[in-house]
Amino acid sequence: MRSLDRVTLKGLRSRGRHGCLPAERELGQEFVVDAVLSLDTGPAAAGDDLNKTVDYGELAGRLVACVAGEPVNLIETLAWRLAEICLDHPLVEEVEITVHKPAAPIPHSFDDVAVTIVRRKP
Protein backbone atom coordinates (compact mmCIF):
# COMPACT_ATOMS: atom_id res chain seq x y z
CA MET A 1 0.00 0.00 0.00
CA ARG A 2 1.37 3.41 -0.92
CA SER A 3 1.68 6.09 1.71
CA LEU A 4 -0.60 9.09 1.58
CA ASP A 5 0.19 12.74 2.08
CA ARG A 6 -1.69 14.98 4.49
CA VAL A 7 -3.35 18.34 4.04
CA THR A 8 -4.25 19.90 7.40
CA LEU A 9 -6.77 22.63 8.10
CA LYS A 10 -6.42 23.54 11.77
CA GLY A 11 -8.36 25.91 14.01
CA LEU A 12 -11.27 26.62 11.68
CA ARG A 13 -13.80 28.61 13.71
CA SER A 14 -17.55 28.84 13.26
CA ARG A 15 -20.53 29.62 15.43
CA GLY A 16 -23.09 26.86 15.85
CA ARG A 17 -26.07 25.89 18.00
CA HIS A 18 -25.08 22.31 18.83
CA GLY A 19 -25.70 20.73 22.21
CA CYS A 20 -28.27 19.04 24.39
CA LEU A 21 -29.17 22.03 26.54
CA PRO A 22 -31.80 24.57 25.47
CA ALA A 23 -29.41 27.46 26.14
CA GLU A 24 -26.85 25.98 23.74
CA ARG A 25 -29.48 25.86 21.01
CA GLU A 26 -30.72 29.36 21.76
CA LEU A 27 -27.46 31.23 22.28
CA GLY A 28 -25.03 29.19 20.20
CA GLN A 29 -21.28 29.13 20.74
CA GLU A 30 -18.01 28.91 18.89
CA PHE A 31 -16.77 25.56 17.64
CA VAL A 32 -13.27 24.90 16.36
CA VAL A 33 -12.57 22.26 13.71
CA ASP A 34 -9.33 20.54 12.72
CA ALA A 35 -9.36 18.44 9.55
CA VAL A 36 -6.48 16.23 8.44
CA LEU A 37 -7.04 14.93 4.92
CA SER A 38 -5.09 11.95 3.56
CA LEU A 39 -4.56 11.92 -0.18
CA ASP A 40 -1.90 11.64 -2.85
CA THR A 41 -0.64 15.16 -3.55
CA GLY A 42 1.93 13.97 -6.09
CA PRO A 43 -0.08 14.74 -9.24
CA ALA A 44 -0.91 18.24 -7.98
CA ALA A 45 2.71 18.96 -7.08
CA ALA A 46 4.06 17.56 -10.36
CA GLY A 47 1.80 19.79 -12.43
CA ASP A 48 1.46 22.66 -9.94
CA ASP A 49 -2.29 22.19 -10.46
CA LEU A 50 -4.94 23.08 -7.86
CA ASN A 51 -7.46 20.91 -9.71
CA LYS A 52 -5.46 17.81 -8.73
CA THR A 53 -5.66 18.40 -4.98
CA VAL A 54 -8.10 19.71 -2.38
CA ASP A 55 -8.96 23.40 -2.50
CA TYR A 56 -8.80 23.97 1.24
CA GLY A 57 -10.44 27.39 0.92
CA GLU A 58 -13.51 25.86 -0.70
CA LEU A 59 -13.48 23.01 1.82
CA ALA A 60 -13.28 25.48 4.73
CA GLY A 61 -16.41 27.18 3.45
CA ARG A 62 -18.30 23.90 3.34
CA LEU A 63 -17.18 22.93 6.85
CA VAL A 64 -18.12 26.33 8.29
CA ALA A 65 -21.55 26.09 6.64
CA CYS A 66 -22.06 22.68 8.27
CA VAL A 67 -21.11 23.94 11.74
CA ALA A 68 -23.37 26.97 11.31
CA GLY A 69 -26.18 24.83 9.88
CA GLU A 70 -28.65 22.37 11.31
CA PRO A 71 -28.01 21.81 15.04
CA VAL A 72 -27.28 18.39 16.52
CA ASN A 73 -27.12 17.25 20.12
CA LEU A 74 -23.63 15.73 20.04
CA ILE A 75 -20.30 16.94 18.70
CA GLU A 76 -19.76 13.30 17.72
CA THR A 77 -22.61 13.73 15.22
CA LEU A 78 -21.17 17.02 14.01
CA ALA A 79 -17.75 15.38 13.52
CA TRP A 80 -19.39 12.61 11.48
CA ARG A 81 -21.08 15.16 9.21
CA LEU A 82 -17.84 17.06 8.73
CA ALA A 83 -15.99 13.84 7.89
CA GLU A 84 -18.59 13.02 5.24
CA ILE A 85 -18.06 16.42 3.62
CA CYS A 86 -14.31 15.79 3.44
CA LEU A 87 -14.69 12.25 2.11
CA ASP A 88 -17.06 13.55 -0.57
CA HIS A 89 -13.99 14.92 -2.36
CA PRO A 90 -12.85 12.27 -4.85
CA LEU A 91 -9.16 12.53 -3.92
CA VAL A 92 -9.54 12.28 -0.13
CA GLU A 93 -9.08 8.70 1.03
CA GLU A 94 -9.11 9.24 4.79
CA VAL A 95 -9.93 12.08 7.15
CA GLU A 96 -9.33 12.82 10.80
CA ILE A 97 -11.76 15.39 12.19
CA THR A 98 -11.51 17.00 15.61
CA VAL A 99 -14.37 19.15 16.84
CA HIS A 100 -13.48 21.38 19.78
CA LYS A 101 -16.16 22.86 22.02
CA PRO A 102 -14.16 25.27 24.19
CA ALA A 103 -17.26 26.84 25.81
CA ALA A 104 -18.96 23.56 26.71
CA PRO A 105 -21.34 23.91 29.66
CA ILE A 106 -19.14 22.29 32.29
CA PRO A 107 -19.26 23.71 35.82
CA HIS A 108 -15.49 23.29 36.30
CA SER A 109 -12.40 25.01 34.96
CA PHE A 110 -11.17 23.36 31.75
CA ASP A 111 -9.28 24.23 28.57
CA ASP A 112 -11.20 22.33 25.92
CA VAL A 113 -13.59 19.51 25.12
CA ALA A 114 -12.96 17.74 21.83
CA VAL A 115 -14.02 14.68 19.89
CA THR A 116 -11.73 13.19 17.24
CA ILE A 117 -12.88 10.66 14.67
CA VAL A 118 -11.09 8.98 11.77
CA ARG A 119 -13.03 7.82 8.73
CA ARG A 120 -11.83 6.16 5.55
CA LYS A 121 -13.46 5.52 2.21
CA PRO A 122 -14.52 1.90 1.79
The three-point CA angle 55-18-74 to 5° equals 95
List the catalytic residues. Answer: 101
Q: What residues does 119 pair with on adjacent strands?
A: 95
Q: What residues does 120 pair with on adjacent strands?
A: 94
